[in-house]
Amino acid sequence: MISMSNPRTAPEVHDGSTSTIFHNLQFGYNSELSKVKTSEFLEHSKHVVEIIEKMGKMFAPLKYDMNGNINKITAMYKKDEVAHQYLEDMVLTEQAAGGLTTIDALQWLRRGLHFLAKFFDCILEDVDQGGNQQTLVPFLKIAYETVLQRYHGWMGGQLFNIMCRFAPNRKELYKILASTHTYNEEHVVAGMRVFKTNLLICINHLVKFYRDYNLENEAVV
């Protein structure tokens, strides 16, 4: 897991990311409690869906899937916002009752978020190595193979191939991720870096949580 300098939350870095659509999303993770605050996680996940929507129609299946899972988790959260203040408590309550809806929804939402984080991570690795590869398809493929491919059957693979055919290039993606028509490329990269780091902190925690409580479902869909 990624280390954290702040004992309570993910690290906050002011690096020009205000000129992008990322803001400083931290996804509700509290390292002192080792829990994720449900309301913040849902709010920030909705913002991620907005980012994905801006990336083009080819990401529509991912957007649709993530929105559906956000709605399922939100419905459970609203049943008892006090008892379900943290994702872990809500999930364990459902597990004890023999339910699966929220457990499954959070698992797939986490995987969708992880896919995006890995995609951005590949771009950032290329930047750090001095690269400026314009086609982003290889990075999408790495992210898919790392995070989602093992859970997808034939249909999922075909949808991904279609998505790759219409993926934006690097210049187009940077324009999408900037909050204004005129932008500083360094600010976009810096915002992407903070976003990816904060997101992976939360994702890594949830992966460990699911493994510790035997919640992960490896079935292919």
How does pLDDT run across 7-45, given as a tens digit for each residue?
Answer: 333 333 333 344 567 767 889 999 999 999 999 999 999
- Cβ-proximal residues to 194 (8 Å cutoff; 6+ apart), any chain: 13, 15, 17, 22, 24
Task: Note the pLDDT of residue 23.
Answer: 67
Structure tokens, 104: 């499954």
82-102 pLDDT, tens digit per residue, is: 999 999 999 999 999 999 999
Cα separation of 78 and 76, whole Å? 5
Phi, psi of 40 (to 5 degrees): -70, -40
Ordered domains of the chain (ranges, CATH): 26-212 (1.10.3520.10)
Residue 92 burial by Cβ neighbours in a 10 Å radius (0-12, 13-18, 19+): middle
Pairwise CA distance, residues 116 & 147, whole Å: 9
- As beta bridge partners, residue 178 has 20
